Amino acid sequence: MPRKKYQGEINDKERSKQQLLDAVGKVLEDKGYIGLTATNIAKAAGLSRRLITIYFDSVDHLVETYVRNKDYWIVSSGNTQQVIAENSHNTKKIIECLLLNQLDYFYNNLEMQKLILWEISKKTKIMYEVCEERERLASTIFKLTDKELEGKNIDIRAVSALLVAGVYYMVLHAKSTDTLFSEIDINTPEGMERIKNAIILILKNTYKE
């Protein structure tokens, strides 16, 4: 087998770019969005600050590239796309799958937790586009719900909004305090299961109308 050729400067550049992108995630986890400075990112990457300008023009463009590459909403939706394909006439199951997947992913992903905190704390172009990506995913599902629920007095968008917001808040609350929320601790398997069961029950009752 022929030996793989080393491409010198090209490999060094790509390796350094990836180190900087990885460093954005580290800083985001450790210091939050306010810590995303050239100094902190370069230190986490173990590289010169000058490389940020050389490879990405600016810190903002570096962070934007990092966020775009993550595809949080696609990843957090889990197998929802497959469920959509198999259950286009059963939108309750689709929404249930999406919410439960997002709860698990959001609870276990510190980067996404920091991203949501960033989204609700500061208005930026990057976060606007992240929100738009989430809305595009939701729009695909709502087109199906509109067909299934036509003529029924069910505002599935409002119900979904409250459930998603509840997932975000309960996870962020559980990760930042040692207190219970409505006497539930989702840091325990029992508490997490209660929240999942509540999501399932709310959707079941909503679709009964």
The reported pLDDT for the residue numbered 6 is 42
CB–CB of 78/105 below 8 Å?
Answer: yes
66-70, 111-115, 159-163, 169-173: the lowest-pLDDT one: 66-70
Q: Write out pLDDT tens, residues 93-126.
A: 989 988 998 899 899 988 888 888 888 887 778 7
pLDDT digits 0-9 by tens, 78-96: 666 677 777 778 899 989 9
Q: Is-contact 110 60, C-beta < 8 A? A: no
d(CA 201, CA 16): 49
Return the structure tokens found at 208.
């009964």
In this structure, are residues 94 and 87 in contact, taking their beta carbons and an 8 Å threshold?
yes
pLDDT digits (tens, 9 = 90+) for 138-154: 888 899 999 999 999 99
Please write the tens of the pLDDT for every residue from 15-32.
999 999 999 999 988 988
Both tokens assigned to 71: 């595809």
Quick: pLDDT tens for 165-205.
Answer: 999 999 999 998 878 999 999 999 999 999 999 999 999 99
**pLDDT, position 65:** 86
Query: Tell me, what DSSP letter sits at residue 3?
Result: P
| Two structure tokens written together for 134 | 């989430």
